[in-house]
Chain A
Amino acid sequence: MRLTCTEAANAFQRDWAQGLRARLKAGEPFAFANADTPLEVFHALGMPVVVNQWWSSVIAAKQLSALHLDASERAGFHARLAKYSALPLFAALDGRPEVQPWGGLPPPGLLVARASADDHPLIFAEWARLTGAPLAILSAPGHPAPAPDWWTPLRHDWEREAGPDRLDLMVSEIADLTTLAERVAGRRTPEGALERLMARIDAQERLFDEAARIIAEAPRLPLRIADMIPNVMIPQWHRGSDWALAHARAFRDEVAARVRDGVAVVPDERIRMMWIGAGLWFDTGFYSAFEDQGAVFAWSMYLPFAADGYLRADHGDPMRALAARVIDLNEHLHQPPWAGAWHVKEARRHRIDLAVIIVPKTDRPSGYGTRFIAHALEQAGVACVMVDADMVDARAWDGASARAAVQAGIDRVQKGR
């Protein structure tokens, strides 16, 4: 039932992780970066980069989050601080190799975060204090007049949509980050590398755009979101590489073949659901828990966002296009009016009956805006269920209650027919 591509993506990631681990062990400097930063800078330079939220999901998937979160509280960090973006820091503060993936990360060569959440600069300041690594905090000035339908103008007319002043600032900060990364790596970015990388990323995201369209238009869901996520996110972490581009193509083709062959996750599909928010990394089985009733999770943000969040025509200036990609990257997913409008657009395209929204109250940047998203969806005729949960804190997960809440939502939808 799983896609061939899924195994290929997981195998690539395993090999890549082993290779990265060996490079880090050999003392090669690496960047430790938040997911909403311009990772392209490091890819173009060929500098290893570990993404904070990816590493957090690895720790959680290895069932180590409770241990480190408990320890953080004993160390004086109170229990209501963010976890998804802080779990790697807590693991590093613990320091014991036996309770960390790979025995723990060595100190990074540099740290980079964007001030897109009030707490991120503070979390990264703790990292810098702990490791002595240079820290770059990128600005996140707010858009003064956000239009709901951001995804269309941003693909091409991003200069006007994002605003020249904010773009000038972001371009300068990306240039400074590049200089810092080159100093730490001890080499220069090859001439034209960013331009070539951005062109390949553009091609990659167009393939994902096509795959998302095929899935949306399919009469029944052809693959689970647990299959979609690794096939998108692993190439996204390596976006613009030859492997990522080839994998995106293979994924698009395999999805298209499934639809052509009439493959369906649930032949008797009756309810289509969307999962709104980051993944539930410690209980991904939740996503298939309602299939015996004909209810499928047909949507998660990762695949469609690869197109809407990343496609930016370069107009001959790849660094400015990169700035246009990054400048509101995470904000589009969470802040009104952007997030509500985008989820409504996606719900309609995917014929969604029920939206399940994860509300992480101790990760406020992700928890904020969730009621506006629900309001927008309900106005559009999509029923909503809110689930209190944290993406990586299994201690706070009440699976039985969450299942009951989704079940009640399914019952409501069925009753309304």
Chain B
Amino acid sequence: MPPVLLFGHGVPLEAECLRGLPLRDITRDWHAQPASSRIEPLMEPFLDPFVRSFLFGLESGACDGAARIIVWRPGAGALHAYRYAGELRRLGLLPPGPPVTLWNRAASRGPAADAFDAAQDAALALALAGLARGPVRDRAGPLAVWARWQAEGRISGAEAFRARLAARRGEVPEVMPGPPRSGRRLALAGSPLAGDGLHRWLDTQGALVLDLQGPDASTDDLADLMRAHRIEHLVWQVDPNDDLHGWRAPGLRRLCAGLGVRFSDLGFLPPLPGPGDLPEALPCA
């Protein structure tokens, strides 16, 4: 069954209009620039890295065979992904591929916003009407278990991150808990990451028990989360072209200070950080 691909941080896979479809969240799938890209000259160097990767994925055929691509408007950069994809196809620089649908959401609340969102869902359901639907896979259950195991230090931060990403791609990852880890209780926040390089490094620096940048990160009150997870040290990073997450940094730093949590800013890190991007040890300032 051809999959339905979704792009946009935070796209709600459990929405009623998507129930039973073979969904694959491709937001954090990473596609490098093809050797001879026709579209690269039209992409600003500061373009959101996930938008860039998405467009390279379209160019390299990574999305071919999908029934449809849905772009979740509220995701950071998503509207530009939709605009650029549409224009590159119109210019003949991207090959024809699966149809791309924009899925909007109101930013306000109230009856008019509800009506707008409902109309968007209905339009999306109509666009997906011809596709076969199967049983609904439970994601919430495994997510809750992984969150608990991670909080207990029984799976590493990297394992938990990989499992969440895989679950959003429609896979069923096997995760086995081990004995609780010891060390500083760490939280990770900032820009979304595409790879687990930073997680693996943090797993050597302590126990990464709370991942606030990851997919399906809790939206509960941050202070409550840090207290509940007994966080000792929060690690912050942003993408080299970030213009979004950095707005939260001073407030988060204040919050940490108020809670007695150490705050370490690793500065600008690429979405796939490697050893060369990371310090030798976690700064404690």
Residues of A within 8 A of B (CB): 75-78, 80-82, 115, 118-119, 121-123, 125-126, 129, 136-142, 144, 146, 165-166, 168-169, 171-173, 176, 335-337, 340, 359, 361-364, 367-372, 375
Partner of A76, one of B41, B77, B91, B253: B253
Decide: A169 and B113 in contact? CB cutoff 8 A.
yes
Nearest Cβ distance between residue B98 and chain A, in whole angstroms? 16
The 4 A-B pairs with the shortest beta carbon distances in the complex, nearest first, are A172-B112, A141-B104, A336-B87, A76-B250
B238 touches A78 (CB 8 A): yes
Q: A137 and B83 in contact (CB under 8 A), knowing A168-B115, A361-B45?
A: no
Q: How far is the CB of A336 from chain B (nearest CB, A)?
A: 4
Please, which residues of chain B bring their CB within 8 A of the CB of A125?
Answer: 247
User: Quick one: which of B108-125 are within 8 Å of A by CB?
Assistant: 108, 110-113, 115-116, 119-120
15 contacts between A and B (CB under 8 A): A76-B250, A77-B247, A78-B242, A118-B76, A137-B107, A139-B113, A142-B79, A172-B111, A172-B112, A336-B84, A336-B87, A364-B48, A367-B46, A371-B42, A372-B84
- Complex: chain B residue closest to A335, CB-CB: B83
Residues facing A in B32-51 (CB within 8 A) are 41-48
B90 within 8 A of A: yes
Q: Known: A75-B250, A77-B250, A336-B83. Is A118-B112 also a contact (CB below 8 A)?
A: no
Interface centre among A78, A126, A173 (most CB of B within 10 A): A78
Contact in complex: B105, A141 (CB < 8 Å) = yes
Write out the residue numbers on chain A whose beta carbons fall within 8 Å of the beta carbon of B241: 80, 361, 364
B246 at the interface (CB under 8 A from A): yes
Interface string of B119-151 (1 = CB under 8 A from A): 110000000000000000000000000000000
The complex places the Cα of A364 from the Cα of B242 at a distance, in Å, of 9
Chain A neighbourhood of B116, CB < 8 A: 139, 141, 165-166, 168-169
B44 touching A141 by the CB < 8 A rule? no
Q: Is B280 an interface residue (CB 8 A)?
A: no
Tell me if A364 and B107 are in contact (CB < 8 A).
no
B106-A371 in contact (CB<8A): no
Instruction: Tell me if B249 is interfacial: C-beta within 8 Å of chain A.
Output: yes
Contact present for B247 and A122 (CB under 8 Å):
yes
In the assembled complex, how far is the CB of residue B47 from the closest CB belonging to chain A, in whole angstroms? 7
**Contact size class for B?**
35 or more
A201 CB, min distance to chain B CBs, angstroms: 24
Residues of B within 8 A of A146 (CB): 83, 86
Does B13 sit at the interface, judged by CB under 8 A? Answer: no
| CB of B276 to closest CB in A, whole Å | 21
Q: How far is the CB of A414 from chain B (nearest CB, A)?
A: 25
Could you say which residues of chain B place their CB within 8 Å of the CB of A75?
Answer: 250
CB–CB A142/B108 < 8 A: no
User: Are A119 and B247 touching (Cβ within 8 A)?
Assistant: yes
For residue B104, which residue of chain A has the nearest CB?
Answer: A141
In Å, the complex CA distance between A217 and B243 comes to: 41
Q: What residue in chain B is nearest A371 (Cβ atoms)? A: B42
Bound-state Cα–Cα, A129 to B248, Å: 12
B282 adjacent to chain A (CB < 8 Å):
no
Q: Are A368 and B47 in contact (CB under 8 A)?
A: yes
Closest Cβ–Cβ distance, residue A26 to chain B (whole Å): 32
Q: Is A77 in contact with B249, judged by CB distance below 8 angstroms?
A: yes
Chain A residues near B87 (CB-CB < 8 A): 336-337, 340, 372
Contact yes or no, A173 B247, CB < 8 A: no
**Is B184 among interface residues, defined by CB-CB distance under 8 A?**
no
Residues in B whose Cβ lies below 8 Å from that of A337: 86-87, 90
A121/B243 contact (C-beta < 8 A), A75-B250, A142-B102, A368-B80 known? no
Name the contact of B243 in the complex, choosing from A76, A81, A172, A371 (C-beta under 8 A). Answer: A81
Residues from chain A with a CB closer than 8 A to the CB of B90 are: 337
Residue of A118, A176, A362, A369 near B108 (CB, 8 A) is A176
Question: Would B249 and A362 count as touching, CB distance under 8 A?
Answer: no
B126 → A minimal CB distance (Å)? 13
Complex contact B46–A371 (CB within 8 A): no
Q: Which of A82, A115, A172 contacts B107 (CB 8 A)?
A: A115
CA gap between A371 and B76 in the complex, in Å: 20
Shortest Cβ distance from residue B82 to the other chain A in the assembled complex, whole angstroms:
6
B218 smallest CB distance to A (angstroms):
19
**One of B73, B79, B112, B238 near A169 (C-beta < 8 A):** B112
Contact of B246 among A78, A142, A364 (CB under 8 A): A78
Using Cβ atoms and an 8 Å threshold, which residues of chain A touch B246? 77-78, 80-81
- A137-B107, A172-B113 known; 10 other A-B pairs, CB under 8 Å? A76-B253, A119-B244, A123-B247, A126-B247, A139-B108, A139-B116, A141-B120, A142-B73, A144-B101, A146-B86
How many angstroms from the CA of A60 to the CA of B221 in the assembled complex? 37
Q: Are B110 and A176 in contact (CB under 8 A)?
A: yes
Whether B42 contacts A372 by the Cβ 8 Å rule is: yes
B245 to chain A, nearest CB (A): 9
Q: Which of B44, B48, B84 contacts A361 (CB 8 A)?
A: B44
Contact between chains at B110 and A172 (CB < 8 Å): yes
A79 CB, nearest partner CB in chain B, Å: 9
Q: Given A78-B242, A371-B41, are A173 and B46 also a contact pair (CB < 8 Å)?
A: no
A216-B142 Cα distance, complex, nearest whole Å = 64
Q: Which residues of B contact A141 (CB under 8 A)?
A: 73, 104-106, 116, 120
Bound Cα distance from A11 to B205, whole angstroms? 63
Query: Which residues of the other chain, A, contact B76 by a CB distance below 8 angstroms?
Result: 118
CB distance from A40 to the nearest CB of B (A): 18
Q: State the CA gap A82–B44 with chains docked (Å).
A: 16
